Structure 1
Amino acid sequence: MSNTVLEKAAVLFAERGFAGTSLRDIAEAMGMTRPALYYYFNSKEALLQELVRGVTGSGSQELRRLRERTDIGAAEKLRVVVSTTVARIAESPLRFRLLERNEAELPAEILQEHHTSKGRILDELTKIIADGVRSGEFRPVDERIAAFSVIGMINWIAWWYKPDGPSTPEEIAREMYEMASRGLVRGADRMPASGVEGAVALLREDLTHLERLVSAGGSAS
């Protein structure tokens, strides 16, 4: 029932804005009294905070646990990030749109929590990509720019995904991982565009990776 209340609240917040929605509105939309709604949430701020934690809070915690795993490599971690995030957004895209549309109306404490969680998600994904670059699994890219690109690509699902559309969440996740991996995984797309020119480009990529390794070794000593 609490998840149903959250979904209904997300709909009303998205339609009317957070400031324009009262707890009475949510209770009436649920077909229950306000005292009955208090059993689940005692204020609309509590409802909103739970929505924030479900969207960005839990995501940042899951990403940290994934980054700390030692049984899989960076490419597999990236695949898991893409697949789980796509699935979460596709399950409830309205919740993601709600937060983006109503950030200016969020109470200061909830807004801070939301921004902190978003920052942690970016940091954790940046570290996963940086680990892949250091190990040689990923190309020598700017880790933060790459992380922003992956997050931006996935988050747009909330605006265009439709359950009755032509692609399932699993198909979308596979396609998005394919695009992300071609830009990051070393060897994923290493066919030279033209003989010598293409070979030189690959050598430059390898040289950049070597320079990073040498630089990291020097700074660590």
Structure 2
Amino acid sequence: MKSVKHLNRKEEIIDTAFKVWQLNCFTSTSLNDIAESLGMTKQAIYRYFKGKSGLISEMSSRITDHYRSNFRDFRRIAETESRDQIVREFIRNQIEFFRNHSEYLSFLISKIRLADEGRRNFIEVIAEQTGYLQKELDVKPSAVNYILNLIVFYIFIDSLKSTEELTGRIYTLVTEGFGTELLAKPSDPERLLRENRIPENDMTEENKVLQSISEVVMEEGPHNASLDKIAKRAGMTKSSLYFYFNNKEEMITETINRQTEAFTEYYFEKISAYEEVGDQLFAHFVLTASMTIERPKTVSMIHWFIRRGIGDSFRKPTEFEKYRVFFENAANYRYLNTHGITADQLLLLVNFCVTFEVNNQTNRDLEKESKYGLVHDLYDLFVHGLKALQENKK
């Protein structure tokens, strides 16, 4: 039987690991980093965990246990509430939980692959919660995930607001959506879905190199992504990489720059083909989903660097401002109700919700066509709120 001192030290290591994880990508965070923060040796950590994977397992178990307990508390309160009150109470419950455990949010958002048992257990809790809300609210699972994504997004952009203020704002967005009566329905959603998918095999030699860089950087972390590993993944020699880049730092920066610029150019070529705002907005959802589905490691790498504010050396594409202007104009001409947030935040919100829902379904091994099918639900939720999916089920 482990002593109290041993168990306390183990908990301290887990606490520190979460803190270090918030500052770094976990794949590039070593046990040495954690040990250094604790003033102990790496070897000493092995007295408590079976290496890094063992530590991850314990971290995921802690999140799962706390989240399960929190869900049980919510259910006890929700049992006597009306449908609308369940929505409001769920929003409040999640805000309080993640505000009290911000380290959990960073861990989960970063899409670390939890240890097998920890991953299964956490998915079970989420599935139980989703199933309960799906039944009580009479909505699809995508609606529950959308609510969660809104909560996470607003915790980040409105961190100074009180829990009650934030609950009220998110409740309004969840129930009413962002669209106004002036926003026409997409003319032909299926056609828009077909026309705005990024071609699967649209990979030049340079794009293959860039894709390989993205994959290795996200799997190994920026510090451990060696040129040898990247060259091997790309199926070329290390010396051949220098045809494209002078060094590793330039390689990572240019990977983000070139892929962002290429997507931006492709994006506006597609969007400009439509005249109606409803068609343009739906196409935006499709293009964002398609980038996440077809180039997942690239999207993850861009988000990782953005979250850490490492952007001084990145170029903003010349067309980048049009992203914001599109949403700004849609709001100014009253096609969208921003509910008090800026055009930049509205754009980020759409991209955040689409990207994370697609990633969520990727983790569940959903087939590609089913992922694209989510675009309809996400668009309807964003524009009309929960009532959209309820009406679509009838």
Bin of the TM-score, shorter chain as denominator length: 0.5 to 0.7
The answer to whether residue 240 in structure 2 is matched with residue 25 in structure 1 is: no
The root-mean-square deviation of aligned C-alpha atoms, in Å, is: 3.7
TM-score, with length taken from structure 2: 0.38
What does 1:38-187 align with in structure 2 at a 5 Å threshold? 38-61=242-265, 69=272, 72-103=275-306, 104=308, 106=310, 108-110=312-314, 113=315, 120=321, 123-133=324-334, 137-139=335-337, 141-142=339-340, 144=343, 145-157=345-357, 159-162=359-362, 164-166=365-367, 168-183=370-385
Trace 1:208-219 onto structure 2 (pairs within 5 A).
none
> Which residue identity is paired with 2:279?
E
Distance 2:227 2:221 in 1: 13
Measured after TM superposition, the shift of residue 141 of structure 1 is 4.3
- In the TM superposition, residue 17 of structure 1 has moved relative to its aligned partner by 2.0
CA drift of 1:147 comes to 3.2
Q: Is the 8 A contact 1:83 1:170 kept in 2?
A: yes
**Does the Cα contact within 8 Å between 1:89 and 1:155 map onto a contact in 2?**
yes
Matched residue, 2:238: 34
Find the partner of 1:4 among 204, 208, 213.
208
- The residue identity in structure 2 corresponding to 1:154 is V
The 1-side partners of 2:277 and 2:309 are apart by 37
Would the aligned equivalents of 1:17 and 1:102 in 2 still touch at CA under 8 Å? no
Q: CA deviation at 1:156?
A: 1.4
Q: How many residues align?
A: 179
Contact 1:87 1:169 in 2 (8 A): no
Q: Is the 8 A contact 1:10 1:94 kept in 2?
A: yes
The code of the aligned residue for 2:372 comes to E
- Tell me the distance in 2 between the aligned counterparts of 1:140 and 1:6: 36
Unaligned runs of 5+ in 2: 1-204
CA distance in 2, matches of 1:65, 1:29: 31
CA contact (8 A) 2:288 2:351 kept: no
SS of the residue corresponding to residue 313 of structure 2 reads helix
Contact 2:213 2:255 in 1 (8 A): no
Contact in 2 for aligned 1:96/1:158 (Cα 8 Å): no
SS in 1 for 2:278: helix
Q: What is the one-letter code of the residue matched to 1:127?
A: E
Output one character per residue of 1:145-185: Cα deviation in whole Å (capped at 9) or x when no partner: 543432221231463242941553430222211222215xx
Q: How far is 1:87 from its partner?
A: 0.8
Percent of aligned pairs with the same amino acid: 17
Q: TM-score, normalised by structure 1?
A: 0.62
SS in 1 for 2:229: helix
| CA 24–126 in structure 1, closer or farther in 2 if over 3 Å, else same | same
C-alpha displacement of 1:61 = 4.6
Q: 1:162 to 1:30 in 2, by over 3 A?
A: same
Q: Following TM superposition, by how much is the alpha carbon of 1:131 offset from its aligned partner in structure 2, in angstroms? A: 4.7
Rounded Cα–Cα distance in structure 2 between residues aligned with 1:44 and 1:121: 31
Q: Aligned-pair distance for 1:37? A: 2.5
Per-residue CA deviations over 1:13-53 (Å, capped at 9, x if unaligned) read 11222233232332234343222223344433443234323
Q: Give the residue type in structure 2 aligned to 1:126.
A: F
Q: Mark the runs of 5 or more structure 1 residues left unpaired by the alignment.
A: 192-221
Q: Is the 8 A contact 2:228 2:238 kept in 1?
A: yes
Change (3 A) 1:120 1:154: farther
* Pair 1:26–1:89, CA change in 2 (3 A): same
Partner-residue secondary structure (3-state), 2:330: helix
Task: Quote how far apart the aligned CAs of 1:125 are.
Answer: 4.0
Give the C-alpha shift of residue 63 in structure 1. Answer: 5.5
Q: 1:21 to 1:107 in 2, by over 3 A?
A: farther
Corresponding position of 2:50: none
Distance 2:221 2:246 in 1: 19
Q: Could you tell me how far 1:132 is from its partner in structure 2? A: 4.3
Q: Deviations over 1:75-114 (max 9, x none)?
A: 111111111111111101111112223454957412xx36
CA contact (8 A) 2:292 2:358 kept: yes
